[in-house]
Structure 1
Amino acid sequence: MKRIVNQVLAVIVIFGLSFAASAKVDPKVHLEQVTQQISAEILENKDKIKADAEYAKGLIETYLLPEVDTEYMAKRILGREYWTESTEAQRQTFIEQFISLLLNSYAKGLANYDGQPITYEDTQYSTSGNTANVRSVIIPQEGEPILIDYRLKLGADDKWLVTDVIIEGVSMAKSYATQYRERIAQIGIEATLQELAEENKKAKNASEISDENPNEKT
């Protein structure tokens, strides 16, 4: 449960990138300016988020996805070998299915955000200035502070894009890379894509609202 909550909080902080920070804007300052706005929107619509999975996914699609370098992340997850071996159609399928799985998995979890305080440390830039790291500290209602690092790089249009989220030292990109590369090695790219599609379908069904009593035996 703690891991799920941490991931949800990470998504909320990433929302802070939704106003397209340019290369001239310090990512830390940008996050501080806009996270408050996005957090307020989530808090004001918690009931709707709980009741409507499509609304919750729409929030992520609107604010989050344009600010994540999905192709770069997909390349990191598959690795150079499997990315090169796969066809263009397989690459696009992986990107689409992976994004859909994240949407279905975390959309309704947005309602878990209850206004936990979020602070940011100074942005750390690479020597070239083309990549950066912003560390956030989230103060939960109970327990120790949660450290989340956001890795960003400059896109072709001089816009900072998220390439990885590291929650308490665990890289999201590396975790998924281990999972999918092992599976591809075992059953191949095409079969792995089919499994991902099925997993995505199950996640979507789990996020749908049902009038049936989940405790009722059939």
Structure 2
Amino acid sequence: MTTWNRRTVLTGACGAALLLAAGLPVRAADDKGDPYAFVVDLTNAVLEEIRKDPKLHAAEPARVRALVDTYLLPAADFTMMTRMTVGPKWRQASPEQKARLEKGFQELLIRVYSGALTNVTDERCELRPTRRRPPADEMVIRTLLKSSGKNDVGIDYRIYRNKAGAWKVVDVNVEGIWMVENYRSQFASVLSQDGIDGLIAMLETRTDELAAKNGSAAGTK
């Protein structure tokens, strides 16, 4: 049985997990209903959407951008995600800096994880065989990503219920690595040395580098 490289797992599963929040218009994915069904049904709907759309499966930038703009941003709480990732220094940022941090983090995640779409094959999401707890306003939903010929991958989703009663995804854990914590540790050194403006510059520079790299790769196909 093929063993998934840890970095590949983290990149691929987090990519799928971020797109989980896309809110694709499927009957079973009720963002105000059962949180377990919301996570599992929506993840599987997204995986199926990727499989049937060649442009999305090929991670064409325009198609990925359209998917994100239409579905991901309204459903995922990127403000909270960014605040959690930046940490205490978020409170010191001006409104303009907060907006640039959030936009920069969004763009970085899109560039980093969109390439994972090309790896989607027959993956399917299932709940882990653990006792289901009654819904609470903040929850961690534990799932397994299953695929033939590959080891199961454990993915946990941190969600919360907002004031409107809708579930929002704010973090993802792949095989013991929480995405927010992982980025927070990377950003901490930049913040300590270069401050908030330094982190903004790093996010924008890194995103531009990935865009150029992805564009070059696309041109060689």
Q: TM-score range by the shorter chain?
A: 0.7 to 0.9
Partners of 1:42 and 1:191 lie apart in 2 by 36
Match of 2:205 in 1: 198
Match of 2:64 in 1: 56
Partner secondary structure for residue 190 of structure 2: helix
- Shift of the 14–94 alpha-carbon distance from structure 1 to 2, 3 Å rule, reads closer
Partners of 2:56 and 2:92 lie apart in 1 by 43
Partners of 1:171 and 1:211 lie apart in 2 by 30
Shift of 1:48: 5.2
Question: Aligned pair 1:131/2:141, yes or no?
Answer: no
Partners of 1:210 and 1:7 lie apart in 2 by 18
Q: Is the 8 A contact 1:139 1:146 kept in 2?
A: yes
Listed one character per residue, the Cα deviations across residues 18-73 of structure 1 (whole Å, up to 9, x for unaligned) are 157444x1111123333333322211123554262221232233333322211111
- Percentage of pairs with the same residue: 21
Partner secondary structure for residue 156 of structure 1: coil
Listed one character per residue, the Cα deviations across residues 157-213 of structure 1 (whole Å, up to 9, x for unaligned) are 111111110111111001111111221101221122112111010111122256755
Match of 2:127 in 1: 120
- Structure 2 stretches of 5 or more lacking a match? none
Match of 2:41 in 1: 33
Partners of 2:148 and 2:93 lie apart in 1 by 45
Shift of 1:147: 0.4
Normalised TM-score (structure 2): 0.83
Q: Is the 8 A contact 1:104 1:203 kept in 2?
A: yes
Partner secondary structure for residue 208 of structure 1: helix
Shift of 1:105: 1.5
Q: Is the 8 A contact 1:68 1:163 kept in 2?
A: yes
Q: What is the identity, as a one-letter code, of the residue corresponding to 2:76? A: V
Alignment of 1:120-199 (within 5 A): 120-121=127-128, 123-124=132-133, 129-199=136-206
Partners of 1:56 and 1:144 lie apart in 2 by 27
Shift of 1:13: 4.3
Of residues 56-65 and 93-102 in structure 1, the stretch that sits farther from structure 2 once superposed is: 56-65
Partners of 1:211 and 1:32 lie apart in 2 by 32
Q: What is the identity, as a one-letter code, of the residue corresponding to 1:147? A: G
Shift of 1:8: 2.5
Shift of 1:10: 3.5
Q: Is the 8 A contact 1:137 1:147 kept in 2?
A: yes
Shift of 1:151: 0.5
Partner secondary structure for residue 188 of structure 1: helix
For the aligned residues, what is the CA RMSD? 2.5
